[in-house]
Chains A and B, each alone.
Chain A
Amino acid sequence: MSLLSIEQLCYQPKRPWYKLGADDTFHLGPVSFSLEKGETISIIGENSCGKSLLAKLIVGAETPTSGRILLNGQPLENNHKKQRASNVRMVFRHSAHALNPSLSIGQMLEEPLLLNTALSAQGRSEKIFKTLKLVGLMADHFYFYKHMLSDGQQQRVALARALILDPQVIVADEPFAALDPSVRSQTVNLLLKLQKELGLAFIFISHNLGIVRHMSDRTIVMHDGQIAEMNLTQTLFLDPQHNASKQLIHAHNALLSLQ
């Protein structure tokens, strides 16, 4: 049985009654795929093809119109927010914008624990220190605010916030987009290390095909709200089948071969 399986997921925003004319709203799906334990799936595709929307649907930030998401065979429903929130966590696109500037890092990390667990105050701070250490920050960072940290450290805090509830799946929307090359390599290493140690499954969205090729086991190419192609990463990069994936990968290879 796979860890997370997505079955016929659809998203069609309801048209307001006063809107006339052709239907130009964006439709997603139906999308189905499954994710195993310790596996990394990356989603690539051009802009506005529904990648971020799919990520939001998986973590439950948006409600799908139809279709099911199963975690370990159990359907994830929106009325079981706790179960969902503690098992599927999200890292947002710009960690700098996704952190609350008026809370210290400690408070920010404590919030999910308060809402989702029955830990005592002592237990919570222990958990926070453990998680900070896990992502390579120091215990002192508990008292820091967002503006006191560099980009890479903010990214680590965002990751710590995702990890603190011991999730099984992490969904990351362009986690490397805002990072500089040397810090990016550090984050890639960190993610790979965490995956090895904790057996996490990742779904991540990226434009950087070099990193996608390096990190992911399987790759999904999205086009116009549909899965255009899904295959093992190495196979897909060597032999893309669908037109959309051909375009992306040939563009990437063309950039590389122009050297």
Chain B
Amino acid sequence: MILLDIKNLTLEIESNGVLVKALDKASLTLEEGEIRSLVGESGSGKSLIVKAISGALPPRWIVTADRMTWRGQNLLTMNRAERRKIMRRDIAVVFQDPMAALDPSSTLKEQLTESIPEEFVEGRWFWQKRRSRLDIARSLLHKVGIKDTQYCMDHYAHELPLDICQKFMIAMALVSQPTVLIADDPTRGMETNTKRQILSLFKNLNKTRNLSILFVSHDLVAISSMADKITVLYCGQTVEDGPFQSVRKKPFHPYTKALMDSAPSFSPDLQPKSALIALGGTIPTLQHLPIGCRLGPRCPRAQKKCVETPVSRKINQHTYRCHFPMHLDDKGII
């Protein structure tokens, strides 16, 4: 069953009196029990999609979409109370910067115990409830791999190292036992060992509780270890979408290829100290977006036709938006 279905999501931001499309027809679906990763560079609109789903965008920004549904209910026309209810119990979000997302004025214990839903708390009297809340909090913190739980709970966010805060955010997201976890760059700045712990926790939850995960990141090694499906985003446009293995082996879009080449661990035959294959130039800013395919000016295969926005085409679950795809001949056969 499709849980989250987004089609042609467009987000317009006014900047200096001109409407800029920060997201241009981005599409995404998330099925039950699947791990989908959303890959893109900073400024490509990954976090905007996450915020659009969670409804955390400023009201001035114009969100339009052909379809944006949660289990068939339209998220865009829903009233705030209903939407909040979904966000509270079904979708959990781990935001990008834990320091900014955690409340600086209360200890982590207060924040975590406050977010435990009433149904999970056992006991009749307040002291029993308090104990039960603390037990739940402690076991959650253990689960995400925080060893010194008491120390963590008694401190404020700014007193703890960043990776502990990051794990704490994940614990906060898991507290309501959601159906979907949206993790916005959860492994940023983590060392390999901790990263593996967190990723295997996600994987376990996915297997045991059938948790669907939208994993937003640009860490390809982390993605490759867990993702079933991948959606590649460039400058607000979804350029490619499909099962991870087929995208990795035969990317159709030149940007996906460049992305896969950027991780040296993916190409075992690469000579140490040899030059990596890299696209020239940098990501354009929102004020200077190229027309048509936004990769155009950086693309090695770009031709005249690329000033028109390509429509999305589909070959066996593998969607791409490119006029001149790779690994395909003229008739569109792999």
Contacts and interface: CB of A to CB of B under 8 A. Distances in A.
Closest 10 CB pairs of A and B: A210-B265, A185-B278, A180-B41, A181-B262, A258-B225, A214-B264, A185-B276, A251-B196, A255-B225, A251-B192
B322 to A, nearest CB: 17
Given A255-B199, A258-B225, A150 B285 contact: yes
Given A185-B278, A251-B196, 15 more contacts: A45-B191, A47-B191, A151-B42, A152-B282, A181-B220, A183-B41, A184-B262, A185-B262, A186-B280, A207-B192, A209-B265, A210-B265, A213-B272, A248-B193, A256-B224
B272 A207 contact: no
Interface of B: 41-42, 161, 163, 189-196, 199, 218, 220-222, 224-226, 245, 248, 258-259, 261-265, 270, 272-280, 282-283, 285
A118 interface: no
Nearest to B262: A181
Contacts, number: 110
Contact of B282 (A183, A189, A233): A183
A47 B190 CA distance: 8
Contacts of B161: 47-48
Contacts of A210: 221, 263-265
Contacts of A86: none
Interface of A: 45-48, 150-153, 177, 180-186, 188-189, 192-193, 207, 209-211, 213-215, 233-234, 247-248, 251-252, 254-256, 258-259
A256 B285 contact: no
A85 to B, nearest CB: 28
A234 B272 contact: yes
A36 to B, nearest CB: 15
Contacts of B248: 259
B196 A254 contact: yes
A180 B259 CA distance: 10
Contact of B278 (A46, A189, A214, A259): A189
A150 B41 CA distance: 12
Given A215-B273, A254-B196, A150 B224 contact: no
A181 B259 contact: yes
A258 B262 CA distance: 19
Nearest to B264: A214
A185 B277 contact: yes
Contact of B273 (A47, A183, A192): A192
Most buried by A among B224, B226, B282: B282
Contacts of B190: 207
B191 A181 contact: no
A255 B41 contact: no
Most buried by B among A47, A48, A254: A47
A120 B61 CA distance: 53
A185 B199 contact: no
B90 to A, nearest CB: 28
Contact of B225 (A153, A182, A185, A259): A259
